Structure 1
Amino acid sequence: MPKKPVTFDHDNPEWTEADFAGARPLDEYPELAAAFPKSKGGRPRGSNKVQVSLRIDRDIIAKFKAAGPGWQSRMNEALRRAQG
């Protein structure tokens, strides 16, 4: 990935030591914290799933994605059925 030149963003300047010293935790602002619900994230414990990397034709991926959320689970089921 080519490196992009670093430019100064006037709307979002780099924090100074004073900025960090004055920072407060998000939980001190409950109305703001409510806008950012905590993500459970990651695979549930006890899962027997393994992350892999493989190449699949674009049209196949597009077909599964076109059916909406859950396309990876549907693809898993299709592979399970094909296994026999």
Structure 2
Amino acid sequence: MGSFISLAEAGAGQGLAHTPEQIGARRRGRPAGTTQAVTKEPVKLRLDADVLAALRASGDGWQTRINDMLRASLHLAGRI
């Protein structure tokens, strides 16, 4: 992990500290250059309530896991 500095050290120029102007200048969203080569399409998908609850309970990234499961199923079926 990075080392933390005190406000006094930051004010004295010791260590890295962002000014309010630098913080305000940051762009929202993903950093430049992190877009994927293949973009995904948004779709509306109807799922059973218990299936959706189980997927959401598995934590963040559940939509990506759905994509991975569907890809694996299609691969096993020889469709991709």
TM-score for both structures, normalised by structure 2: 0.50
- What is the TM-score when the length of structure 1 is the normalising length? 0.48
